[in-house]
Chains A and B, each alone.
Chain A
Amino acid sequence: MKLTILVTSPPTASLTVQQAIQFIELAVREGQAIDNIFFYMDGVNNANAYLHPASDEFNAHHAWSAIAEKFNIPLLVCITAAERRGVIDKKLALQNGAEGANLKAPFLQVGLSDFFERLHSVDRLVQF
């Protein structure tokens, strides 16, 4: 079965994010394919590389990057929702005259169109 994970919870909802990551670990271990993880609404804040919680606290950005690399899952971030919340990649930073970019690989900026095109071949959509 092929799944898409839709993340609309912010990184500060650390229990929800940890549950999502646990769900993905289990799903992959049981042989399910994760087509992509899509960040939308306040979920785009998970892609902010400038997040620095206290060292004994959960770091959502690190956790997403690690799971994406472990299982080779694309981390797709809605560009409109992200730009509205100040989460931008290098190219957008240059365009907007911003001093720094806070969206970096393995996160990737895409349009909602990418999400809906991929959805055609997906069996289940799971939202966190």
Chain B
Amino acid sequence: MATILVILSKTPHGSASAKDGLDFAMSATGFGHHVDVVFIDDGVFQLMTPIDSAPAYQTKQPFKIAKSLSFFDIDNVYVCEQSLAKRMIDKEAISSEYTVIEAHDMRAIIESHKFVVNL
């Protein structure tokens, strides 16, 4: 078993990458790896809930997939506080199931994993 840190840094709808990144994290635990996730930079937008008046585009909502991470045995989901602040996102708007961390906590988190991927 390896410990894998999956860093998600892409906007939710700018490409297919947000979906691929979440798929990657959720698949890994099924094959005996331990996975933790960090939302950083534009990746924090993946956790935003669309406003009610938003048009119903045919697209998967990363925030819904992110909510299901705990069902895939991913218990540590971190969100970078500086990334939220830079984008004027109130950290109170972030679900309490996620742990808000400071940018300088990242080093220790990265060092505690065998593999790190940025998706």
Residues in A lying within 8 Å of B, measured CB to CB: 6, 8, 40-42, 80-81, 84-85, 112-113, 116-117, 119-120, 122, 125, 127
Chain A residues with CB under 8 Å of B91's CB are none
Q: What is the total number of residues of chain B having a CB less than 8 Å from a CB of chain A? A: 21
Chain B binding site: helix, strand, loop or mixed by DSSP? Answer: mixed
A40 CA to B30 CA in the complex, in Å? 18
How many angstroms from the CA of A40 to the CA of B20 in the assembled complex?
Answer: 8
CA distance A8 to B116 in the complex (A): 13
Residues of B within 8 A of A120 (CB): 1-2, 31-33
CB-CB nearest in chain B for A81: B20
Contact of B17 among A41, A116, A125 (CB under 8 A): A41
Binding site secondary structure of chain A: helix
Complex alpha-carbon distance, A42 and B118, angstroms: 13
What total of A-B pairs shows CB separation below 8 Å?
A: 47
| A residues near B117, Cβ cutoff 8 Å | 6, 125, 127
Binding site for A on B (CB under 8 A): 1-2, 4, 15-17, 20-21, 23-24, 27-28, 30-33, 115-119
Among A40, A85, A117, A122: residue with most chain B CB under 10 A: A40
A119 x B115 contact (CB < 8 A): yes
Question: Which residues of B are found within 8 Å of A117, using beta-carbon distances?
Answer: 31
Whether B16 lies near A119 (C-beta < 8 A) is no
Most buried by B among A6, A85, A112, A116: A116
Q: Separation in Å of the A118 CB from the closest CB of chain B?
A: 10
Q: Are B32 and A42 in contact (CB under 8 A)?
A: no
Contact status A116-B118, CB under 8 Å:
no
A112-B23, A119-B31, A120-B1 given. 4 additional CB < 8 A pairs?
A40-B24, A42-B17, A81-B20, A113-B31
